Chain A
Amino acid sequence: MIFSPVAVLLLAASAVQASVLTLQSPKFVVTDALGSQLRAEPFSLVHRTGTPVKLEAKDTLKITFQVVDKEDGKGVQPHQTFIRFFDPSTGEEGIQPIRVTGGGKAKFELNPSKPPLYLPPTSTEPLKVSLIIGTPNYDPITVRLFDLILPASQPAPTHPDEASFHVRPELHHTFRPDQKLPPKAVSLFFAGLTFAPWVVLIGLWSQVTPRLTHLFSPSILPFILSLVAFESLLLTYWVKLRLGEVLLYGAGLGLVTIFTGRQALSSISSLRKD
């Protein structure tokens, strides 16, 4: 008989793939601190346990099963029998090998009051528990068993520099509040009050009009104009000038005022001598 090499390979491959492991009497039990059973169910490799397993602080979770060869039912001690706790929201993971005897009997216990180091910190989502069995010459098994809800724990420790590798909270400076000014109506009213003497003056002037006969004579007018100029220099200084500038202008104006003043006052004194 002539066998094609491919057919021989296929036969050999199928012979290898015939080694399948399965679990005998897999079950998990949740007992509370006093020893009474809260939940005892078998779990299966084929479909996941629907309701999440909730563990309080003093409860204990026990998982037992026996790893057997599917063909002949003999117990097998796999190289790798791990139980894996995974939190998909934070990416934290914890893996623990399960002690399996030579005959394949496995027992695993979890007590949150003595939390083992490998347990990941809790978050808002339940932990996904899976079983990983791998050994040479057999098909590997990785299967999700159930979701586990543990009592809340501290968050995972982070490096002190870790915060500087992410966006940091914004900081704002609280400024001193703006100066509060009194209402403008009040200021207007009191400004109006300061104008009251003007009213009196104008009233009196309406009765006694001063006669400005020499206003436009050429000896008096320049002095009056330089006085006006001085006052306007003072006003401009208040609005926008600096000390150096105003002293400069003031010096110039002062010189002019000396001459016009002499002229004006001498003309007045001569007028009055007559």
Chain B
Amino acid sequence: MFGFRRWCLLALSAASLLCVDAKSSTGDSVLVVVDPSNQDKYSLFFDGLKDSGYKLTFRSPKAEKPVVIADDVPNFDHVILLAPEARNLGKDITPQSIVQLLSLKTNVIVTLPTKQSPLHSLAAEFGLILPPPGSPLISYFPQRDTPSSLIPIPIEDHSSPALTKHIEPVWFSGIPQALSTNPLLIPILRAPAESFASETLVTSGSADALVESAEKGGEGLWAGSALAAVTGFQATNGARIAFVGGAEVFSDELAQKEVAPYVKSGNADFSREVAAWTFQENLVLRIDGVEHHLAHENTTVAKEQYTNNDNVVFSAYVSKWDAKQGRWEPYSGLKDLQLEFTMLDPFIRTALPPVRATPGKYSTTFRAPDRHGVFKFIVDYKRKGWTSLQSSTTVPVVPPRHDGYPRFLSAAWPYYAGAISTSVAFLLFSTAWLAGEARDRSSKKAKGSKAE
């Protein structure tokens, strides 16, 4: 039995070596805070990360070093807190320091304990409402041999933007989280509809306790598919944090447990996907550059200022991080990118469709408003799970110069006719005067000479 398990692990790690490794866009160093006695329990998960190129540093919750932040500079690119049973995680890992880690663009995976802990107040900071201590998620559905607190949760394709592939049902054991309406929250794994949070020891008073807690109003009852078992949060600076209801999701035992006859659970895939989203491998975008110019045939040079009613072409170049290749690739898959032309309030908001010929280029032409002022081209793209794209280019729009107005109007033809007639008449008159004879004098003189 022991030999069989060992052989299974060896085969799995050999297979994972053949897998394509997926790299993070922000760095490879990961700090894992885990009790050394439990470290083997998560060996499949750690090996999966190591095969993808991450450099894991393990630290016991009781140890002081290595420190996560030294002198306001983070020492690691990513942090995994896998010690929910520890009372405290070290002097330098507190809710405030985790928030500071996020503001320094370090991504964090946090596993929440069932009992009361400072991590509960951290989760509350992010709009997650946790059930009272000691009440994990339990479900009597589907009927199974495992205890009611170990729940197989099926995952529908495209149920969460953070999961990019099909995943078999996942074994989950831990606490659920109720979500506030904050749009920065991304539920990654929703609890099943029949599940609820309750103490695992069922006594005769448990049913009444449930009814009482619900009648308290507000968040008295944690139940149903509005709860999430694993939630992600993407901060406005792009850093991501994932709150996982329990550490068992990552364990080897659940990764190898079957959800249906001959169907392995999706825990290994799911853990890898959660790490992939949190560590900035998937769904990471950036704007490479923007440009703007007049819509004439042969100009692509940006003008310093535009005039009212000019036709302006604006283009943005967007890339997506390709985790398999480990580099940024131009990405034309954004269907709903929008451009705003703003002076205090958006004057124009139009769609930026992708250009077929150039991958990654999104372009549109619009007419500058006939108000003059200092405008901004603003691209502000926020979607749940994706990095937010922000770009702002300031450009003045000036009224037309004295010779920028329409000329040679049809209404002015009489005036043109009159002025040109005057010039021509002047020329004819001066020619006639200069070139002509003074007839009186010459005829008088001729007469006079003839008379003599």
B-binding residues in A (CB < 8 A):
17, 77-82, 84, 86, 93-100, 102, 117-118, 132, 134-136, 139-140, 142, 157-159, 161-162, 164-165, 167-173, 175-176, 179, 181-182, 184, 187-188, 190-191, 193-195, 197-198, 201, 210-215, 220, 223-224, 227-228, 231, 234-235, 264, 268, 271-272, 274
Q: A134-B140, A176-B370, A214-B436 known; 11 other A-B pairs, CB under 8 Å?
A: A95-B221, A97-B210, A102-B204, A159-B183, A161-B182, A175-B367, A179-B406, A191-B416, A211-B437, A235-B420, A264-B434
B194 on the A face (CB < 8 A): yes
- Chain B: which residue is nearest A190 at the CB level? B414
Question: Residue-by-residue, is B137-159 near A (CB-CB < 8 Å gives 1, otherwise 0)?
Answer: 00111110000100000000000
Q: B436, A272: Cβ atoms under 8 Å?
A: no
Q: Which residue from A93, A181, A191, A272 sits with its C-beta under 8 Å from B224?
A: A93
Question: Does B225 have its Cβ within 8 Å of any Cβ on chain A?
Answer: yes
> Is the Cβ of A142 less than 8 Å from the Cβ of B418?
no
Q: With an 8 A cutoff between CB atoms, is B400 at the interface?
A: no
Chain A residue contacts of B438, Cβ below 8 A: 271-272
B338 & A167 in contact (Cβ 8 Å cutoff): yes
- Of the residues B148, B211, B347, contact of A173 by C-beta under 8 Å: B347
For B349, what are the chain A residues with a Cβ–Cβ distance below 8 Å? 168-171
Once the chains are docked, how many angstroms separate the CA of A137 from the CA of B344?
Answer: 65
Complex CA distance for A118 and B213, rounded to whole angstroms: 13
Between A95, A176, A190, the greatest number of chain B beta carbons within 10 A of the residue's beta carbon is seen for A95
A214–B432 Cα distance when bound, in Å, is 10
Q: Is the CB of B194 within 8 A of A132?
A: yes
**Most A CB within 10 A of own CB, among B206, B211, B214:** B214
Alpha-carbon separation in the docked complex, A172 to B367 (Å): 10
- By the criterion CB–CB under 8 Å, are A80 and B196 in contact? yes
Q: Are B207 and A84 in contact (CB under 8 A)?
A: no
Contact assessment for B181 and A162 in the assembled complex, using a CB-CB cutoff below 8 Å? yes
Chain A residues with CB under 8 A of B367: 173, 175
Residues of B within 8 A of A99 (CB): 208, 211
- Taking CB atoms, residues of chain B closer than 8 Å to A211 are 436-437
A210 to B205, CA, bound (A): 129
For the complex, give the distance between the alpha carbons of A157 and B417 in Å.
70
**What are the residues of chain B within 8 A of A274 when measuring CB–CB?**
445
Tell yes or no: B435 within 8 A of A by CB.
Answer: yes
B369 within 8 Å of A by Cβ? yes
B285 interface hit (Cβ, 8 Å): no
Q: Give 7 nearest A-B pairs by CB, closest first.
A: A134-B140, A215-B435, A140-B140, A171-B349, A159-B181, A212-B435, A190-B414
Interface of B is mostly: mixed
Interface residues of B (CB under 8 A from A): 139-143, 148, 180-183, 193-194, 196, 198, 202, 204, 206-208, 210-211, 214, 217-218, 221, 223-226, 309, 336, 338, 340, 346-351, 367, 369-370, 380, 382-384, 406, 409-414, 416-418, 420-421, 423, 425-427, 430-432, 434-438, 441, 445
A157 lies within 8 A of B181 (CB): yes
- Note all chain B residues with C-beta closer than 8 A to A179: 406
- Which of B204, B224, B338, B410 touches A187 (beta carbons < 8 Å)? B410
Residues in A whose Cβ lies below 8 Å from that of B194: 80, 82, 132, 134, 140, 142
- Smallest CB gap from B350: residue in A: A170
Q: Are A210 and B418 in contact (CB under 8 A)?
A: no
Closest Cβ neighbor of B437 among chain A residues: A213
User: Given A117-B217, A134-B141, does the pair A165, B370 have CB atoms closer than 8 Å?
Assistant: no
Q: When the two chains form their complex, are residues A173 and B217 in contact, meaning their CB atoms are under 8 A apart? A: no
Residues of A within 8 A of B193 (CB): 84, 86, 93, 132
* Complex: A45 Cα to B217 Cα, angstroms: 29
B417:A220 contact, CB within 8 angstroms = no
Q: Tell me the bound Cα distance from A248 to B4 in angstroms.
A: 99
Q: Is the CB of A171 within 8 A of B181?
A: no
> When the two chains form their complex, are residues A79 and B207 in contact, meaning their CB atoms are under 8 A apart?
yes
Q: Is the CB of B413 within 8 A of A188?
A: yes
Known contacts A211-B437, A272-B441; A171/B347 CB under 8 A: yes
Interchain CB contact under 8 A, B369 and A175? yes
Most buried by A among B223, B370, B420, B445: B223
- A84 B224 Cβ-Cβ under 8 A: yes
Interface centre among A80, A135, A274, by most chain B C-beta atoms within 10 angstroms, is A80
Contact assessment for A95 and B224 in the assembled complex, using a CB-CB cutoff below 8 Å: yes
Min CB distance A95 to B, Å, is 4
Residues on B with beta carbons closer than 8 Å to the beta carbon of A231: 423, 426-427
Which A residues touch B412, using CB under 8 A? Answer: 187
CB distance from A241 to the nearest CB of B (A): 11
Q: Is the CB of A191 within 8 A of B414?
A: yes
Which residues on B sit within 8 Å (CB–CB) of A132?
141, 193-194
Considering the chains assembled together, what is the distance between the CA atoms of A217 and B406 in angstroms? 45
Contact of B435 among A78, A161, A224 (CB under 8 A): A224
Q: In whole angstroms, what is the CA distance A231 to B445 when docked? A: 36
Known: A77-B207, A172-B348, A214-B436. A235 touches B423 (CB 8 A): yes
User: Which residues of B have CB within 8 Å of A190?
Assistant: 413-414
Q: Give the residues in chain A near B418, CB-CB below 8 Å.
A: 194
Given contact pairs A117-B217, A159-B182, A194 touches B414 in the complex (Cβ within 8 A): yes
* Cβ contacts under 8 Å, B369 to chain A: 173, 175
Chain B residues, CB < 8 A from A142: 141, 194
